[in-house]
Structure 1
Amino acid sequence: MNLKPSLFVKSTLAVAILSANHSFAADGNNFSLPSIVVTSGFRGAALQDVPTSLTVVDDQVIQERNADHLEDLITLAPNVNSSSGASHAKYFQIRGIGERSQFIGPINPSVGVIMDGIDMSNIGGAANMLDAQQVEVLRGPQGTLYGANALAGLINIRSNDPTTTTTGHIETTLGTYNTKRLSAAVGGPINDSVGYRVAFQSNKSDGFTENDHLHKDNTNNIDETLFRGKLRIEASDDLMVDLTAFYANIDNGYDAFSLDNNRTTLSDEPGHDRQETSALAAKTTWTGHDAFTLETSLSYSDSNLEYGYDEDWVYDGFHVAGYNAFDNYKRDNKTATAEVRFISAPGSELFNGSTSWATGLYYYDRSSDLARTYTYLGNDFISEFDTSRLSVYGQLESSLSENYVLTTGLRIEHSESKYSDNDGASSSSDELLVGGRVALEYLANQNTTYYGLISRGYKVGGFNADSSLPANLKEFDTEYLWNYEVGSKKSWLENSLQTQIALFFQQRDDAQIKGNRVVSNPGGGSSFFDYVDNTDEAYSYGLEAEARWKLNPTVSLFGSLGLLNTKLKDSSAAFDGRDAAQSPNYQYTIGANFNHGKGWFSGVDVEGKDIYYFSDSHDQKSEAYALLNARVGYKTKDWDLTLWGRNLTDQDTFVRGFYFGNDPRNGYAATKYTQLGAPRQIGITAKLNF
């Protein structure tokens, strides 16, 4: 595509300014915003009525941003960050808490990722926006709802359900870097009691790297195929059955690091980031009893993951003091969940009709088998990790008066884990964990809610797989997180403006912090060995604010702001008194959408982020940035066409950073190395609706 980005930016901004000038001259009527329903809780509830800090991204925003993966949307949520070290962001951090990578050690995630009832927390590379309806990001521990996998928060992805009438779409995207994406979805009734929805996507791109040694521009490519099928069955007047099948085949390249910290590599063995996932989920909803609704759910996923990279980043013979090494990880992950949940029906409230209730039983089982092949290992490293959890939980929502609602929740979870490897290391743990929440809402009027919240989450302890670690670092303890939060949610100007704001303080007890040892290779260069340890003290506090404002039929504004201050304290650690990794002090998004009439539309937004530490084990930082994104298009009832651009000023961003010696030209002196984020991208998307 031979577009001049500077001209594209100028023309889009000019259209936006003209539209804004016209819109403010229009009449002063206010226009109500649609209600957003949150589905992550025990009952569906309006976003403005949920007493916690959360972000909801609906299908319109997903479409506007031309989002392909969860990483394309995560910056819209205040105080939420992500890290890569692969072809996609696989690890997410909320309020400074979350994993950044995985090598030989098993991990229990701090941020849960659920897609259509399927736990994707350890296979986040497949968190795709295929036919997505809504993404919900819940900040703070979700101890009652989801337990150990949601210490820092939860990301819930929902795709479109079967519909009672036949609807669908076909969409194609062409963009720079040979980006080609084709997706399609269709759904409707099979008969009076069965509906279906199927969706498919093929996504290909050469990626942003030039390999000068191999004379290729696709060694960091994207090659993904995804499929989802859904059935909704009205088995009887009282019973609804929802079935979901999901398949992802990801065969991406991984050639992202350069000794010169640019997008030009010299590797002779470019890496890969592969994932094949098959998953099933079943949910039943039974309303045949006057006192409660009975929900059951089952899910199972089987993922084969292979992640490998050229460790020296250059070709054999690059330097007389050089070395040659390749590191490869194959994992077989299997996850199964089962849940039974009872939710009170209207009229069955407790305590003189003042208190609705929900209770349930949850089972989780995961196995992860690893085979690591590494140049400097005589034999493959083999490990097995199994964990299972059984939980019982309950929640009460009590109307104390016309204006006050008290929510109390409790979850008790029994966790068992076993680890073994062919180095002779083994470990087992057996823990009883307790989490929950207490929230008090004050309903000032129909447009204003204030709340106060105390919640407690947990993350199980574990075992470090590195056999060379000293005895005191072999195991690490369970982490608990206390979250104290106050906030308000308000609708203004006849519901044309919606705002939410939250202030929080979080105290981490026995915070799990990742460290690493850097070991010199026999042939040169260095290897990383990760481990987890507990720090003496850790806390964070900050602010999260979001707003949506429909000024009139022509102009809609939106924005978000996250302010975050974190501290880690441990007198024996390098990070003592320092901010936690992946914790920028501020994040923001501000933008506008314009409806020009007669089918024409445009939009512009800016997303920004402060500097942050890449790791808790060294002092290297990212750089602050502000990215400009824009779009302009034409839409009818049956089709639309959008010209879009991301990072239009072509700023460098960083999705991962390390500090070690890998360059023989400087004697393997420790150096900051970074994986660059996406440069400027421009594309065109066409969508046909039927």
Structure 2
Amino acid sequence: MRAVSLSVLFVSTSLLLTPIELLAESSDISKSDLVDDNKLIVTAELKDENIMRVPSSITIIDDEVIQLRNAQHFSDLLNLAPNINFATGASRGRFIQIRGIGERSEFSEPVNYSVGVVVDGIDFTGVATGATLLDIQQVEVLRGPQGTLYGANGLAGLINLVSNSPTDSFFANVTTSVEEYGGFGLSGIVSNSLSKQLGYRFAVKKYQSDGYMDNLYLDRDDTNNLDEMSLRGKIVFQPSEQLTLTSNIFLTDVDNGYDAFSLDSNRNTYSDNPGHDKQDTQAASFILDWQINSMKRLETIVSFADSDLEYGYDEDWSHPGICDNTACDSEIWGYDWWYASFDNFSRENENQSIDVRLHSDTTSTISEDMRGASWVIGFYYRNQTMDLLREYTYLDNHFSSQFDTANSAIYGQIKTPLSNQLNIIAGLRFEKRDADYIDSNDVMFNPDENLWGGKIAIEYQYDTDKMIYALVSRGYKNGGFNTEGSLNEKDREYDTEFMWNYEAGIKGYWFEKSLRLQTSVFYQDRDDVQIKQSIVRSLADDRAIQEGGECPCSFTDYTQNATASKSYGVEFEALWRAYDDLSVYSSLGILKTQFEDFQSFTHILADLETIPPVPYNMNGREQAHSPSYQLVLGSHYFISENWRVNPEIEAKDSFYFSDRHEEKSKSYAVFNLRLSYIQTNWQVNLFVNNLTDKDIQTRGFGSFGNDPRKFYETEPYYQFAAPRVVGISASVNFE
């Protein structure tokens, strides 16, 4: 059945071609404009360059797509990029996987992230709940190790958000939206240049929604709500043609609810103490761009981010009296099966960084048609402090920890032309990491590491508008330690993870530039794979629930190293301008992953004091959050000069939720429909997302039971994406 489905996907993709980057276009754009579209500039690389000339797999999603989809958070867009997935272990999908690699949750243990998130030069890795889409120009998704540019946080790839810049003349915008489930958004933007040297842009946005869950016990429909406020400012000062100073300021206040899991695995919850997911962030970056002379350019990025985060949830998902008139009624057993607990994590995350880059900007040439080598050398320093306070019902004393890390690196990249069509690019990064950890259980670690990553790429411009490339890159992720006291000493630390990535692709324009296509194949080889595991402990005496009020099971979470894993696949994006009023787009990701020589201890319920855990052989099993296919197919058709319709299909295969159990999501295909009325300075969009009201599972558990009505029998539980949502947005420009 799966083979048939994949065949259909390939046939469909070959018929419907178009990229994500140009989903929204006006009807008077000619086919030749595809080549010169400024919205295809990648800024996350060491040098800003058109995406069609960058030898790696990258997706750009622009502001028109954001507006058309009424997207509020960057996770609302990730399904548009091939081989990108995310887990909603919080109110937002801030845990990202690229090509099957990435974290899925964060609790007490220090986490090393595989996918970096950067907003205007500010490192938002680990605090991406605040990565809203207020006045964002584009979202860039870089797949594969970013070992040269971003080091340890870029093992799997990078998400880079870039905000809009000040305009040359006065510009203002007001946008509002109303949607089902109490959804409401209102934003305003003002931009201008006070002189030729000084420009500014400020934006503010409020978004709220009741969420998509009903709490039956409290008789409320807003316990899983969204309540987000963002403020963004950008000031650009250019005292001379050679010097540009840019200041970015970003404030966000997130006060979301978290009541996402139901004992019945549907949208009805029973919790008496709903959770929350809060974030208060003040962040800024200051960028200096100095053209020293015709041969050299200096770029300096200084950033800081101070985030207060609080994440808490009702662990029992239930309430007093849930056993009444059921099989677990206390009148039958003489005691109450029900237990109650709440887990709350408060974090203060402070992050400062400086990145200094010296670019060559040579105009010298090797021959009349060929420029000389270009290079970049840089120095990077980052200091991060994370203070954690955990308040848990079953801890005699609150747990607290402090985790300080300092990363310093030198890196460089050189692009050397071998002919007027052939270039070779080589990059290398050396990084040193010092870490200090201490907690209230008197656990201390002070690991230091020296790491390296880099890449070698060959690009061949075999035609004016066509390029083929081959790439070998090496990424890494820092080693770490487990703080759980019940683990053996040998299990307390885990090793650094490394990955080699081999990739080849083709990018270009065909059929008189009416078709733009980029596609790649890749193979990834990971060593010492860091895998999050847990041992589940069962209570021997059910009466302990009544007498001690304890949970019927407890989890010992830890990270271990699997020997290796392999992954390979295909990524495809294309845009076909059939004629002036019709464009068709498609993206496709094909992914195959598997573990090698991996023994998991997760799957057995055990009393740690009496029963040793039995290893489970996961050799050959797929990695978590690695759907074998992802597909987007859609089109933009101008019915008339002002009316545009945008039908779209999103499809994703099933995937394992975790490397700790065997529970999988269901595959799905959803339909989205948007209708737009466009005038010169205003437009209105009517949208229906998930038209057929599919239940889409974004997170799941399968290794424990939590329902006293079923005597805590092990069963799966799910968190769901949004159901069918109908809404309307309107935007007005003032110029």
Q: TM-score, normalised by structure 2?
A: 0.89
Asked if structure 1 preserves the Cα contact closer than 8 Å seen for 2:562 and 2:599, the reply is no
1:40-439 aligned at under 5 Å gives the runs: 40-319=44-323, 320-347=336-363, 354-439=372-457
Asked if structure 2 preserves the Cα contact closer than 8 Å seen for 1:354 and 1:400, the reply is no
Q: Residue 429 of structure 1: CA displacement? A: 0.9
Q: Does structure 1 residue 518 correspond to structure 2 residue 531?
A: no
Q: Could you say what secondary structure the match of 2:241 adopts? A: coil
| Matches of 1:185 and 1:355, distance apart in 2 | 42
Q: Aligned residue for 2:678?
A: 635
Note the aligned Cα RMSD (angstroms). 1.6
Q: 1:539 aligns with which of 566, 572, 597?
A: 566
Write out per-residue CA displacement over residues 494-538 of structure 1, whole angstroms, 9 at most, x where no aligned residue: 222111111100000111111122244752333444321110111
Q: How high is the sequence identity, in percent, across the aligned residues?
A: 45
| Matches of 2:88 and 2:537, distance apart in 1 | 23
Q: Does structure 1 residue 555 correspond to structure 2 residue 599?
A: no
Q: 1:680 aligns with which of 724, 729, 732?
A: 724
CA 350–468 in structure 1, closer or farther in 2 if over 3 Å, else same = farther
Q: Does structure 1 residue 456 correspond to structure 2 residue 474?
A: yes
Moved more, 517-526 or 635-644: 517-526
Q: Does structure 1 residue 581 correspond to structure 2 residue 624?
A: yes
Q: How many residues align?
A: 664
Q: Residue 465 of structure 1: CA displacement? A: 2.0
Asked if structure 2 preserves the Cα contact closer than 8 Å seen for 1:290 and 1:348, the reply is no
Q: Aligned residue for 1:647?
A: 690
Q: Could you say what secondary structure the match of 1:384 adopts? A: strand
| Matches of 2:109 and 2:392, distance apart in 1 | 15
| Matches of 2:497 and 2:561, distance apart in 1 | 8
Q: Residue 348 of structure 1: CA displacement? A: 5.6
Write out per-residue CA displacement over residues 516-569 of structure 1, whole angstroms, 9 at most, x where no aligned residue: 222447523334443211101111000001101111121111101100000112
Q: Residue 667 of structure 1: CA displacement? A: 1.7
Q: Could you say what secondary structure the match of 1:62 adopts? A: helix
Q: Residue 349 of structure 1: CA displacement? A: 7.4
Asked if structure 2 preserves the Cα contact closer than 8 Å seen for 1:349 and 1:357, the reply is no
Write out per-residue CA displacement over residues 134-157 of structure 1, whole angstroms, 9 at most, x where no aligned residue: 111000001111111100001110
| Matches of 2:238 and 2:259, distance apart in 1 | 49
Asked if structure 2 preserves the Cα contact closer than 8 Å seen for 1:32 and 1:496, the reply is no
Asked if structure 2 preserves the Cα contact closer than 8 Å seen for 1:349 and 1:356, the reply is no
Q: Could you say what secondary structure the match of 1:148 adopts? A: helix
Q: Aligned residue for 1:664?
A: 708
Q: Residue 472 of structure 1: CA displacement? A: 2.1
| Matches of 1:625 and 1:329, distance apart in 2 | 33
The aligned amino acid for 2:628 is N
Q: Residue 290 of structure 1: CA displacement? A: 2.7
Asked if structure 2 preserves the Cα contact closer than 8 Å seen for 1:103 and 1:530, the reply is no
CA 348–146 in structure 1, closer or farther in 2 if over 3 Å, else same = farther
Q: TM-score, normalised by structure 1?
A: 0.94
| Matches of 2:535 and 2:175, distance apart in 1 | 47
The aligned amino acid for 2:482 is N
Q: Could you say what secondary structure the match of 2:590 adopts? A: strand
Q: Does structure 1 residue 597 correspond to structure 2 residue 640?
A: yes
| Matches of 2:295 and 2:398, distance apart in 1 | 57
CA 662–350 in structure 1, closer or farther in 2 if over 3 Å, else same = farther
Q: Residue 31 of structure 1: CA displacement? A: 5.2
Asked if structure 1 preserves the Cα contact closer than 8 Å seen for 2:562 and 2:598, the reply is no
| Matches of 1:197 and 1:165, distance apart in 2 | 11
Asked if structure 2 preserves the Cα contact closer than 8 Å seen for 1:336 and 1:366, the reply is yes
| Matches of 1:169 and 1:496, distance apart in 2 | 32
CA 80–571 in structure 1, closer or farther in 2 if over 3 Å, else same = closer
Write out per-residue CA displacement over residues 28-66 of structure 1, whole angstroms, 9 at most, x where no aligned residue: x95542531111112111111110011111112212211
Q: Aligned residue for 1:567?
A: 594
| Matches of 1:226 and 1:672, distance apart in 2 | 36
Asked if structure 2 preserves the Cα contact closer than 8 Å seen for 1:59 and 1:133, the reply is yes
Write out per-residue CA displacement over residues 335-383 of structure 1, whole angstroms, 9 at most, x where no aligned residue: 1110110011132679995311111100011111100000000010001
| Matches of 1:514 and 1:135, distance apart in 2 | 29
Q: Residue 571 of structure 1: CA displacement? A: 4.5
Q: Residue 83 of structure 1: CA displacement? A: 0.4
Q: Could you say what secondary structure the match of 1:257 adopts? A: coil
| Matches of 2:440 and 2:93, distance apart in 1 | 30
| Matches of 1:194 and 1:656, distance apart in 2 | 47
Moved more, 338-347 or 269-278: 338-347
Write out per-residue CA displacement over residues 609-641 of structure 1, whole angstroms, 9 at most, x where no aligned residue: 000000001000000000100111211011111
| Matches of 1:409 and 1:633, distance apart in 2 | 45
Q: Could you say what secondary structure the match of 1:213 adopts? A: coil
The aligned amino acid for 1:122 is G
Asked if structure 1 preserves the Cα contact closer than 8 Å seen for 2:632 and 2:649, the reply is yes
Asked if structure 2 preserves the Cα contact closer than 8 Å seen for 1:30 and 1:493, the reply is no
Q: Could you say what secondary structure the match of 2:420 adopts? A: coil
Write out per-residue CA displacement over residues 459-499 of structure 1, whole angstroms, 9 at most, x where no aligned residue: 00011121211222211100011000011002012222111
Asked if structure 2 preserves the Cα contact closer than 8 Å seen for 1:31 and 1:551, the reply is no
| Matches of 1:280 and 1:129, distance apart in 2 | 16
Q: Aligned residue for 2:612?
A: none
Q: Could you say what secondary structure the match of 1:649 adopts? A: coil
| Matches of 2:365 and 2:310, distance apart in 1 | 51
| Matches of 2:257 and 2:305, distance apart in 1 | 23
Q: Residue 655 of structure 1: CA displacement? A: 1.3
Q: Aligned residue for 1:447?
A: 465
Asked if structure 2 preserves the Cα contact closer than 8 Å seen for 1:350 and 1:356, the reply is no
Write out per-residue CA displacement over residues 273-294 of structure 1, whole angstroms, 9 at most, x where no aligned residue: 0000000110000113232100
| Matches of 1:327 and 1:31, distance apart in 2 | 57
The aligned amino acid for 2:658 is S
Q: Aligned residue for 2:15?
A: none
CA 380–582 in structure 1, closer or farther in 2 if over 3 Å, else same = same
Q: Residue 171 of structure 1: CA displacement? A: 0.4
| Matches of 1:519 and 1:57, distance apart in 2 | 45
| Matches of 2:66 and 2:94, distance apart in 1 | 19
Q: Does structure 1 residue 499 correspond to structure 2 residue 517?
A: yes
The aligned amino acid for 2:640 is G
Q: Residue 192 of structure 1: CA displacement? A: 3.0
| Matches of 1:430 and 1:350, distance apart in 2 | 44
Alignment gaps of 5+ in structure 1:
1-25
